[in-house]
Amino acid sequence: MLTVEGVAYRYPGGDDVLQDIGFRAGAGEVLALVGRNGAGKSTLLRLLNGLRKPARGTVTVAGMNTAETPVHRLSQAIGTVFQAPEQQIFHATVQDEVMFGPRNRPLSPAERTARVDEALERTGLSDFAREHPLDLDQARRRFVAVASVLATAPAALLLDEPQRGLDAAGTARLETIIRQEQTAGRLIVLVCHDMEFVARLATRVVALSQGRLAADCAPLAFFADPTLTAAASVEAPDLMRLATGLGLPPVLRPAAFAQNWLSRPASAPAQQVSPCD
Ligand SMILES: Nc1ncnc2c1ncn2[C@@H]1O[C@H](COP(=O)(O)OP(=O)(O)OP(=O)(O)O)[C@@H](O)[C@H]1O
Ligand SMILES: [Mg+2]
């Protein structure tokens, strides 16, 4: 689905922002892209969706080389929710905004309407269809961007910090959407600074450090390795820090923690280990 080989990029007049990036990702993966501010995550997403072309190396999406394929063709395979959703909102109503993708697809009017209605329903925006998107609060604006991408049913979704600014209900809604899209066989690339969110959803973590690949592994292996988390400037999720603080194996799921806790050796009672912070 997605192949990145030897990719480097620099903005005009600047230094290299990305160097020697390579990875592959396939259907049904939730690939978390992590790293400190300025590490190059959003730039990499713009290389994946073809808005920027690599200075060196190649990016291939659904068999299309991004350097040789017009963005509008790439956008049929790959949809992006940008870090600032305002940058992708152009229409005067939520309905028209979400209809933009389906209108440019070979679909019947009934299919287009069905796509829009479903996307609005899944994002909690059905009652806001006639509102101006920029009159909505930040969370709903973000969901307008999410709905617009869902309505195009792309093979891959790129989500740049989609959970930022969402309350618990919004985060849960977003989580449900991501899981549904994963189950439907889409590839999801999730840029995220919230490691609890990453730990719940990611099937894989790719970390960038100063524009280079610092890790590409399973979430458990990533978070359990302090060298990797330090390179990406992230902290392991609370549950893992609790487990390791108690001298138990590193885990990301409460059920695994409970099992390890209940089967811990009798010689290591809880009161003899130092509490973790
Ligand atoms: N349009 C641009 N022109 C020049 N330099 C840019 C541009 N956009 C980003 N950069 C620079 O490229 C580097 C990587 O930026 P990028 O936005 O990709 O980082 P990021 O990992 O997404 O950071 P954040 O977590 O803060 O969103 C930074 O040094 C940034 O200043
Ligand atoms: Mg960014």
What residues does each domain of the chain span? 2-235, 237-277
CATH number belonging to the domain at 2-235, selected among 3.40.50.300, 1.20.1430.10, 3.40.190.10, 3.90.1150.10? 3.40.50.300
Give me the pLDDT at residue 273, please.
53
Give me the pLDDT at residue 179, please.
98
With 70 as the cut, is the pLDDT of residue 274 above it?
A: no
Give me the pLDDT at residue 183, please.
97
The ligand whose atoms approach the alpha carbon of 15 most closely is 1
Ligand 1 atom 13 nearest Cα: 38
Give me the pLDDT at residue 259, please.
96
Give me the pLDDT at residue 272, please.
54
CA dihedral 193→194→200→203, nearest 10 degrees, is 10
- Indicate the average pLDDT of the chain: 94
Give me the pLDDT at residue 249, please.
94
Question: How far is it, in rounded angstroms, from Cα 35 to Cα 206?
Answer: 9
The ligand whose atoms approach the alpha carbon of 82 most closely is 2
Question: How far is it, in rounded angstroms, from Cα 241 to Cα 219?
Answer: 14
Render pLDDT for 182-205 as a digit per residue (tens, 0 to 9): 999 999 999 999 999 999 999 999
With 60 as the cut, is the pLDDT of residue 214 above it?
A: yes
Q: What is the mean pLDDT of residues 236-263?
A: 95
Look at the alpha carbons of 191, 197, 201, 204 in this order and tell me if their dihedral is positive or negative.
positive
> Is the beta carbon of 39 within 6 A of some atom in ligand 1?
yes
Render pLDDT for 117-167 as a digit per residue (tens, 0 to 9): 999 999 999 999 999 999 999 999 999 999 999 999 999 999 999 999 999
> Is the beta carbon of 43 within 6 A of some atom in ligand 1?
yes
> Is the beta carbon of 42 within 6 A of some atom in ligand 1?
yes
Q: How far from 254 is each of 132, 182, 208, 243, 277, CA to CA, in Å? A: 42, 22, 28, 10, 18
Q: Return phi, psi of residue 40, to 5°.
A: 115, 15
